C-alpha cells in the first residue's frame, strides 16, 4: 500500500493547460493538466490566486478558505484577464468538494477539500466528419476539431457566447452554422447548417446534446442517424418533409435527421432504391434489430436488409442498408451465377462478395465454374442449406454451397471441398457383388461400384429429393444422409451386410460379407449400460449478496427443494418416479389419518378406484398394490440434482434445478420477489408430477474412431417465470458489481474510431476464425421461454443518495439517453408477457462457439423486438413473435406452453419412449379479471401520482405488489385499502404541514398545507379504485390458485460495526418487524433485540428504548406503549420468576408532579425473562453517558 500524507487542500486541474498557484505574490507551485497539486500546510488558510502558466493572462481574484467552506459543491466563477484584448478573458470555473474520508471523526479539525478547476464549455465532435469552430466576436481564427475528439473553450461563458461552426467536406462541400451557448437548454437541440449560393441554399439539421455538470457544460454535436449504403445502388430516404439522396459511391455515412419540430414523435421513414416505388414506412429507432424492407420496382421487387445499431456514444443510431441476397466466393475457382431462366450471368471473383437481385426467390440459382465442362449446377436459395457438395467434372472435383437465411439477409457462400462434406462414401467390401446406385428421383439410371472399390458420392441434382437408391444382387433399398442403418441382405449365394454410419464427419455406407466387421460396427452403435455413475444432489442452496460499504443485504438467492413427493419404482433396476400432485395430496391425507390412529399393523388404503397402497408404521417397505405392485416411498425433489453416467462410447448428463427465487432484501422494496418460477394453473398441475424449473438432459456418443462427438439428444426445458425489477434494486446491484464507470477520453476516441472503421468495411459476410471442436447435433432443443416482466421506475426503499445516482449509473444513463433520443419514454410496466419461440436443430454440424451464438442471437433478437413492441409501442421490421420461415413450408407457430414440454431423462431416451402431451385450456374468468385488475390498477396509480407524497405512493406500490392470495383476502385487503386511504387523507391535513415545517422551515409549512389538501381529495379515490383492483386480483388468484411465493428469509441484520457475521434468523426477523411497526413509524430506530411474550405480543428493544408491540388480525403490528431508557427511574428487575418489571416516569402532563409508574411484562418462562433482562443491561451499558 502507498500512504500519502498531504494538507487538507488540494487543487485538481481539468484544463488542458497548466496553472500557477500563488499565495499573494508568492508562487507556491504549478498544477499540470489533469493533475493534482497539494497546497502546503503553511499556506492553505491564506488567500490563493490562480493564473494560467502561459504569459498572456493575468491572475484571477483571490479565494480564501472561508469561501471554500461556504461553497461546498457549488460553483465559484473567476476570470483571468487577457493582457491584449479585454473581452477575451479566460473563464475559470472553481468547484470545491469535500474530500471522502474513510474514518469519521468529530473533533474541530478543518475538513479536507479538493478544489476542481473546470473549463466552462467542452465541445465534442461526434460526427464522422471534421468540424471547425470559433467564438464569435473574439477575433480568433477557426480551429479544426477532428472527428471523435473534444475541445475545451477557455474563453466561452454560458449565456454570453455564440459559436460559429463549420462542417467540413461533407458531400464535398463546407457547411456553416451558429450556436448560442445557453443555460437551461433542452437535452437535445438542433443547429441548422447551410451551404450553397445566394440563389439556392441547402439546409442540414445537426443535433446537439447538452449536459450540465457543476462547473461545466458539455456540448456534443452529433447526427441522430448515420445512414450507411452498402447496396451498390442509389438509395433515397423520405420522411415528412425531409428527402435525401444517398449515392452508392459515398463511402462515409450520410447524416440524417427528422425535422426538429417532429423529432420527438414516433418517426418513420420510407426507402426508394434505384427505380423502385417508395417502400412502406418503417422506424429507424429500434436499436439492435434487423429486418428487410421491400421496394416494388417495375421489373422486380427489391429487398433491402436493414440493420440498426447504437453507436458507442449512444446518441446516434447507425442504420446500415445491405442487399438482401449476397453471394460470397471463398473457393479457389472463378464463378458465374444466374437466376434460372434469365439470360444475364453475374461474375463472382475470388474472395469477393457481390449483391444479387433476383426477380423471384423461388427460381433455382445456376452456378457455372470456370473451365468446367459440365452443365451449370442448380441450388435453391430460399431454403437453409448446410455444406451441400456440387459435383464438377473429374478435373475440378467439387465445390461446396451454403445458404444461410436470416431475417435481414440470405447469404450464399461457395467454398472448397473438405473432408466429410460428401453425403456418402460408398465402400463395396464384397468379393463378387456389383452395387448399383443413383439419386432416387433421378431419371438417369446410374452408377455401378465393382467389388473391392470405394467412391465418394455427391447429389447430381441438389434441388431434388435427397435420398439414394441402391441395388445389390436382387436386394434394393433407399438411404438418407441422416439415418444410421444396419441390415443383413440375404442373397442367393451368401449374406451381405449393409451398414450406414458416421466416422467423424463422413457418412459411410459399407457393403460387406464379413460378419465380424458388421458385428463390430453394430456394437459401437448400440445403447450401452453405464459403467460409472456419479450423482450429486443438494437439498438447499442460498446465496446472499451483501454490500458491506452501505451495510445492507441487497439480495438473497435461494435454490430450494420441493415439498413432499411420493415416488414409485416401476422397474427393479429403474429409477424412482414422482406421482402426480393429486395422488400425493391424497397419500399425505391418508398417511396423516393412519399415523393419528397410531396403528401398529400395515394398512391398505384405496385412494381412488384402481389405486391401492399399503402403508407401514415405520414408513419403510411401503408399496403400491394396484394397478401394479411396486415399491413406494415418501421423499422430496432436491434443489439441485446432477447425474453423470459414462460407458465406452456413451456419456449422459442430467441437470435439474427445482426452484430458484431471487429476493430483493432492501427495506421498502417495491417488488420483494425479483425472480421466481410461476407454478402452472392448478387444473394442469394436479394431474402431472411436480416439474423442476430447469431440466437439462444430454446423451452424447463418440462417432467411431474420430474425436468428433455426436450429440444424440440435447434438450433443455425451462418453466414459465416472473421477473420484477425496480430501479432501486438495479442501482443497488450496479453499485455492488461495478467500479466507478467513467470512460477515459482516449477510450472514447478509440471507440468512436472503431464505429467509423466498422462502416468502411467492404460488403462481406463476416466470419471469424472459430477454433472450437465441431460436433454433430442429431437432436438439439431448447424450450420456448415465457417470461412475465414487471418494471418500476421508482426506486423504493431508503434511497439517501438519489442525487448522486442520476449521474453515476452509466448503463442506465445510456439507456435513458437512447430513449430520449428516440423520443420514447419508459413507464412502469406490469406483467407484460414475453413469449420467445423455441430453438431446435436436427442433424447439423456446429462448433460449440457457433451454436452458442446461434442460441443467444435467437432469443435476444426476439426479446429486443418484443420489448420495443410491448413496452415502448414502436413498430419493428419483421415479426416480433418468432421467426416465421418461408410460407411454402406452411406457417409454424414456434411456441408452446413450457409446462406442456416433455423431457426425457437419458435412460428414457435410450429406451426410446415418447410422451404424449395433453392439450390444456385455462379458465376464462381468470383471463378477464386479470385485465380488469390491470386497468383499475393503472387508474389508481395515476391518482396516487396526484397525491404528491412520496411516502403514500411508496406504500401503495408495496401493498399492490403483495398480491392477495385468494378471493377472501382480496376483499378484506380492498376494504383495508379504502379505509387507510380515507384515514391517511384526513390525517394528512394535520400532519403534513408540521412535517413540512420541520424539513424546510416556513416555506415548507405552506407547501405542506397545499400537499395536505390535494391529498385529502386524492387519497380516498385512490383507495376506492385500489379496492376494485384488489378484489379483481382476488378473483384472478382464486381461479389461478397456484400457491403464493413465500419469502425464504428476512434480510440480514447488520450491527453498527458493519462486520458481516453468520446469518441469524432472530435478528433478521426482529429488525424486519421494527421496520414494519405502524407502517414504518419506528424505522429510524436501531434494532437491538426482541422476545415474544405470547402468540401476539412482543417486547422490542432498540438502541434507545423499548416498545411493547402487538400483532393484529391482519398481521399488522402496532405499538401499545414505549419508553426511552432516559425515562427509566430504576433498574429493571424480575418479580416472581417470569415477570419483568420496568419502572419509568409516567407521562402524566400534570403541573404538580410526575408519578412513578411501572409496567409488568409476563413472559412465558423464567428463561425468557432472564434473557430479556440481560439484553436490557447490555444495551444500557453501551448508552453514551450524559
The model's confidence at residue 1141, banded by pLDDT at 50, 70 and 90, is confident
Which three cell numbers mark 276?
A: 423502385
Kindly indicate the confidence band of residue 1156, based on its pLDDT and cuts at 50, 70 and 90.
low
Which residues are CB-contacts of 1077 (< 8 A; sequence separation ≥ 6)?
1100, 1107, 1109, 1117, 1118, 1119
pLDDT class of 1155 with cuts at 50, 70, 90? low
Q: 995 phi and psi, to 5 degrees?
A: -60, -40
DSSP 3-state of 854 = helix
Whole-number CA gyration radius for the chain: 38
At 101, is the pLDDT very low, low, confident or very high (cuts 50, 70, 90)?
A: low
pLDDT at 996: 47
Name which of 1064, 712, 679, 730 is nearest 898 in CA terms: 679
Exposure string for 178-208, b = 16+ CB within 10 A, e = fewer: ebebeeebeebbbbebebeeeeeeeebbbbb
Give the pLDDT of residue 805: 44
pLDDT score at 951: 60
- pLDDT (tens digit per residue) in 161-178: 899 999 999 988 899 999
Q: Quick one: pLDDT at residue 422?
A: 85
HSE (side-chain half, CA atoms, 13 Å) at 268: 12
Q: Which 3 state secondary structure label does DSSP give 883?
A: coil
The C-alpha cell at 11 is: 487543487
**Using one digit for the tens of pLDDT, what is the confidence trace for 590-606?**
888 888 887 778 888 88
> Residues 309-333, buried b or exposed e (16+ Cβ, 10 A)?
bbbbbbbbbbbbbbbbbbbbbbbeb
Q: Return the SS3 of 890.
A: coil
Strand partners, 192: 205
DSSP for residue 1079: G
What is the tens place of the pLDDT at every residue in 334-358?
999 999 888 889 999 988 889 999 9
Q: What is the model's pLDDT at position 825?
A: 61
**3-class SS at 1138?**
coil
Distances (CA, A) of 529 to 485, 544, 650, 713, 887: 21, 41, 9, 17, 44
Region 7-26 average pLDDT: 89
The pLDDT score that the predictor gives to residue 690 is 86
Quickly list DSSP for 592-610.
Answer: HHHHHTT--S-EEEEEETT
Separation of alpha carbons 775 and 755, rounded Å? 35
Average pLDDT, whole number, for the chain? 79
Examine the pLDDT at 1151 and tell me if it is beyond 50: yes
Least-confidence region, from 384-388, 700-704, 1115-1119: 700-704
Question: Is it the case that residue 364 has pLDDT exceeding 80?
Answer: yes
The pLDDT tens digits for 1000-1016 are 444 444 444 444 444 44
Predicted TM-score (pTM) of the model is 0.76
| Phi, psi for 183 (deg, rounded to 5) | -85, 170
- Cβ-contact 936, 821 below 8 angstroms: no
Q: What is the per-residue pLDDT for 905? A: 64
Q: Which residue has the higher pLDDT, 83 or 987?
A: 83
- Residue 642 — very low, low, confident or very high, per pLDDT cuts 50/70/90? very high
pLDDT at position 1009 is: 47
Cis peptide before 627 (omega within 30 of 0): yes
% of the chain residues with pLDDT over 90: 20
Alpha-carbon separation of residue 680 from 4, 191, 921 (angstroms)? 61, 56, 12
Closest to 817 (Cα-Cα) out of 827, 829, 825, 808: 825
Q: Grid coordinates in use for 665?
A: 432484501
Q: What values do phi and psi take at 90, rounded to 5?
A: -90, 130
Q: What pLDDT shows up at residue 137? A: 78
pLDDT of residue 1027: 47
Number of H helices, E strands in the chain: 15, 70
Furthest-apart CA pair in the chain: how many Å? 129
Q: Does the structure show a pLDDT above 80 at 863?
A: yes
Residues contacting 404, CB < 8 A, separation 6+: 384, 410, 411, 412, 413, 765
What is the DSSP annotation of 916-937?
--------HHHHHHHHHHHHHH
Q: Which are the contacts of 761, defined by CB distance < 8 A and separation ≥ 6?
A: none
Give the integer Cα–Cα distance in Å for 851 and 866. 23
Backbone angles phi, psi at 173, to 5 degrees: -135, 165
The 8-class DSSP code of residue 124 comes to E
Q: What pLDDT, on the 0 to 100 scale, is given for residue 950?
A: 58
Amino acid at each position: 500500500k502507498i500512504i500519502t500524507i498531504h494538507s487538507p487542500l488540494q487543487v485538481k486541474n481539468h484544463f488542458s493547460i497548466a496553472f500557477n498557484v500563488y499565495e499573494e505574490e508568492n508562487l507556491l507551485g504549478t498544477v499540470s493538466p489533469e493533475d493534482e497539486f497539494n497546497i502546503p500546510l503553511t499556506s492553505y488558510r491564506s488567500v490563493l490566486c490562480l493564473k494560467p502558466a502561459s504569459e498572456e493572462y493575468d491572475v484571477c481574484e483571490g479565494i480564501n478558505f472561508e469561501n471554500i467552506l461556504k461553497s461546498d459543491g457549488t460553483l465559484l466563477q473567476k476570470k483571468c484577464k487577457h493582457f491584449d484584448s479585454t473581452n477575451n478573458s479566460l473563464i475559470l470555473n472553481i468547484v470545491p468538494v469535500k474530500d471522502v474520508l474513510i474514518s469519521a471523526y468529530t473533533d474541530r479539525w478543518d475538513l479536507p477539500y479538493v478544489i476542481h478547476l473546470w473549463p466552462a464549455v467542452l465541445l465534442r465532435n461526434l460526427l464522422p466528419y471534421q468540424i471547425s469552430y470559433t467564438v464569435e466576436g473574439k477575433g480568433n481564427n477557426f480551429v479544426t476539431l477532428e472527428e471523435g475528439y473534444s475541445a475545451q473553450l477557455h474563453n466561452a461563458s454560458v449565456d454570453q457566447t455564440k459559436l460559429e461552426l463549420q462542417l467540413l467536406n461533407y458531400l464535398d462541400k463546407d457547411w456553416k452554422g451558429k450556436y448560442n451557448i445557453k443555460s437551461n437548454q433542452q437535452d437535445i437541440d438542433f443547429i441548422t447548417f447551410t451551404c450553397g449560393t445566394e440563389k439556392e441554399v441547402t439546409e442540414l439539421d445537426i443535433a446537439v446534446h447538452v449536459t450540465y455538470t457543476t462547473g461545466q457544460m458539455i456540448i456534443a454535436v452529433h447526427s441522430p442517424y448515420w445512414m450507411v449504403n452498402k447496396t451498390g445502388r442509389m438509395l433515397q430516404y423520405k420522411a415528412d418533409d425531409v428527402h435525401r439522396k444517398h449515392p452508392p459511391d459515398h463511402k462515409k455515412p450520410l447524416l440524417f435527421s427528422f425535422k426538429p419540430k417532429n423529432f420527438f414523435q414516433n418517426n418513420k421513414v420510407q426507402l426508394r432504391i434505384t427505380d423502385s416505388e417508395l417502400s412502406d414506412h418503417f422506424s429507424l429507432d429500434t436499436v439492435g434489430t434487423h429486418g428487410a424492407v421491400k421496394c416494388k420496382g417495375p421489373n422486380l421487387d427489391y429487398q433491402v436488409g436493414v440493420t440498426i445499431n447504437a453507436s458507442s456514444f449512444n446518441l446516434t443510431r447507425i442504420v446500415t442498408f445491405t442487399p438482401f441476397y449476397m453471394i460470397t466466393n471463398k473457393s479457389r475457382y472463378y464463378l458465374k451465377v444466374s437466376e434460372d431462366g434469365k439470360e444475364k450471368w453475374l461474375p463472382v471473383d475470388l474472395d469477393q462478395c457481390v449483391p444479387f437481385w433476383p426477380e423471384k426467390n423461388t427460381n433455382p440459382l445456376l452456378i457455372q465454374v470456370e473451365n468446367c465442362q459440365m452443365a451449370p449446377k442448380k441450388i435453391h436459395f430460399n431454403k437453409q442449406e448446410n455444406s451441400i457438395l456440387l459435383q464438377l467434372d473429374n478435373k475440378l472435383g467439387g465445390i461446396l454451397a451454403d445458404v444461410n437465411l436470416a431475417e435481414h439477409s440470405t447469404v450464399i457462400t461457395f467454398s472448397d471441398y473438405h473432408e466429410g462434406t460428401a453425403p456418402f462414401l460408398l465402400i463395396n467390401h464384397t468379393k463378387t457383388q456389383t452395387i448399383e446406385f443413383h439419386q432416387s428421383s433421378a431419371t438417369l439410371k446410374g452408377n455401378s461400384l465393382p467389388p473391392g472399390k470405394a467412391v465418394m458420392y455427391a447429389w447430381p441434382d441438389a434441388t431434388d429429393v435427397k435420398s439414394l437408391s441402391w441395388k445389390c444382387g436382387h436386394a434394393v433399398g433407399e438411404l438418407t444422409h441422416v439415418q444410421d442403418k444396419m441390415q443383413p441382405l440375404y442373397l442367393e449365394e451368401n449374406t451381405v451386410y449393409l451398414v450406414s454410419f458416421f466416422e467423424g464427419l463422413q457418412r459411410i455406407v459399407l457393403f460387406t460379407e464379413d460378419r465380424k466387421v458388421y458385428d463390430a460396427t453394430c456394437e459401437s452403435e448400440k445403447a450401452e449400460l453405464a459403467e460409472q455413475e456419479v450423482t450429486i444432489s443438494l437439498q438447499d442452496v442460498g446465496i446472499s449478496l451483501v454490500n458491506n460499504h452501505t451495510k445492507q443485504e441487497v439480495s438473497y438467492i435461494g435454490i430450494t427443494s420441493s415439498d413432499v413427493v411420493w415416488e414409485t419404482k416401476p422397474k427393479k433396476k429403474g429409477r424412482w418416479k414422482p406421482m402426480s400432485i393429486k395422488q400425493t395430496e391424497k397419500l399425505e391425507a391418508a398417511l396423516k389419518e393412519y399415523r393419528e390412529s397410531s396403528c401398529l399393523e400395515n394398512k391398505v388404503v384405496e385412494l381412488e378406484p384402481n389405486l391401492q397402497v399399503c402403508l407401514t408404521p415405520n414408513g419403510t417397505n411401503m408399496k403400491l398394490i394396484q394397478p401394479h405392485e411396486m415399491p413406494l416411498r415418501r421423499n422430496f425433489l432436491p434443489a439441485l440434482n446432477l447425474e453423470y453416467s459414462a460407458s465406452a462410447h456413451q456419456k449422459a448428463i442430467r441437470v435439474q434445478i427445482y426452484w430458484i427465487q431471487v429476493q430483493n432484501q432492501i427495506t421498502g422494496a417495491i417488488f420483494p420477489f425479483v425472480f421466481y418460477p410461476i407454478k402452472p394453473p392448478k387444473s394442469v398441475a394436479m394431474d402431472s408430477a411436480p416439474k423442476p424449473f430447469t431440466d437439462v438432459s444430454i446423451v452424447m456418443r463418440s462417432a467411431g474412431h474420430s474425436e468428433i462427438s455426436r450429440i444424440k439428444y440435447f434438450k433443455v426445458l425451462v418453466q414459465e417465470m416472473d421477473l420484477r425489477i425496480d430501479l432501486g434494486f438495479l442501482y443497488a446491484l450496479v453499485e455492488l458489481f461495478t467500479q466507478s464507470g467513467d470512460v477515459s477520453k482516449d477510450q472514447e476516441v478509440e471507440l468512436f474510431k472503431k464505429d467509423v472503421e466498422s462502416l468502411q468495411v467492404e460488403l462481406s459476410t463476416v466470419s471469424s476464425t472459430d477454433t472450437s471442436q465441431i460436433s454433430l447435433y442429431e437432436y438439439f432443443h431448447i424450450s420456448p421461454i415465457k417470461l412475465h416482466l414487471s418494471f418500476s421506475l421508482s426506486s423504493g426503499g431508503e434511497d439517501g443518495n438519489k442525487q448522486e445516482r442520476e449521474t453515476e449509473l452509466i448503463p442506465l444513463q445510456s439507456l435513458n439517453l437512447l430513449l430520449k433520443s428516440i423520443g420514447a419514454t419508459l413507464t412502469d410496466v406490469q406483467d407484460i408477457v414475453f413469449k420467445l419461440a423455441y430453438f431446435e436443430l436436427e442433424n447439423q454440424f456446429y462448433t460449440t462457439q457457433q451454436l452458442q451464438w446461434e442460441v443467444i442471437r435467437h432469443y435476444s433478437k426476439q426479446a429486443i423486438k418484443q420489448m420495443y413492441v410491448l413496452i415502448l409501442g414502436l413498430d419493428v421490421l419483421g415479426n416480433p413473435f418468432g421467426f416465421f420461415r418461408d410460407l411454402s413450408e406452411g406457417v409454424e407457430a414456434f411456441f408452446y406452453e413450457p409446462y406442456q414440454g416433455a423431457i426425457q431423462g437419458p435412460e428414457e431416451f435410450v429406451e426410446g419412449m415418447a410422451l404424449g402431451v395433453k392439450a390444456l385450456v385455462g379458465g376464462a374468468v381468470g383471463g378477464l379479471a386479470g385485465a380488469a385488475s390491470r386497468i383499475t390498477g393503472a387508474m389508481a396509480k395515476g391518482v396516487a401520482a396526484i397525491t404528491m407524497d412520496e411516502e403514500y405512493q411508496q406504500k401503495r406500490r408495496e401493498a399492490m405488489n403483495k398480491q392477495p392470495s385468494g378471493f377472501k383476502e382480496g376483499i378484506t385487503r380492498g376494504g383495508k385499502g379504502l379505509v387507510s386511504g380515507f384515514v391517511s387523507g384526513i390525517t394528512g391535513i394535520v400532519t403534513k404541514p408540521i412535517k413540512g415545517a420541520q424539513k424546510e422551515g416556513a416555506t415548507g409549512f405552506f407547501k405542506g398545507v397545499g400537499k395536505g389538501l390535494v391529498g385529502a381529495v386524492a387519497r380516498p379515490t385512490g383507495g376506492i379504485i385500489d379496492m376494485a383492483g384488489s378484489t379483481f386480483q382476488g378473483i384472478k388468484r382464486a381461479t389461478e390458485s397456484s400457491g403464493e411465493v413465500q419469502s425464504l428469509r428476512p434480510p440480514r441484520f447488520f450491527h453498527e460495526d458493519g462486520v458481516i457475521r453468520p446469518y441469524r434468523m432472530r435478528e433478521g426477523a426482529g429488525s424486519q418487524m421494527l421496520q414494519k411497526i405502524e407502517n414504518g413509524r419506528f424505522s429510524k430506530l436501531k434494532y437491538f433485540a426482541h422476545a415474544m411474550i405470547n402468540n401476539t405480543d412482543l417486547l422490542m428493544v432498540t438502541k434507545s428504548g423499548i416498545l411493547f408491540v402487538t400483532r393484529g388480525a391482519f398481521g399488522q403490528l402496532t405499538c401499545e406503549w414505549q419508553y426511552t431508557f432516559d425515562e427509566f427511574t430504576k433498574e429493571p428487575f424480575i418479580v416472581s420468576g417470569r415477570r419483568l418489571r420496568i419502572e419509568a416516569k409516567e407521562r402524566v402532563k400534570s403541573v404538580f408532579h410526575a408519578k412513578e409508574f411501572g409496567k409488568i411484562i409476563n413472559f412465558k418462562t423464567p428463561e425468557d425473562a432472564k434473557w430479556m433482562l440481560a439484553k436490557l443491561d447490555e444495551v444500557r451499558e453501551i448508552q453514551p453517558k450524559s
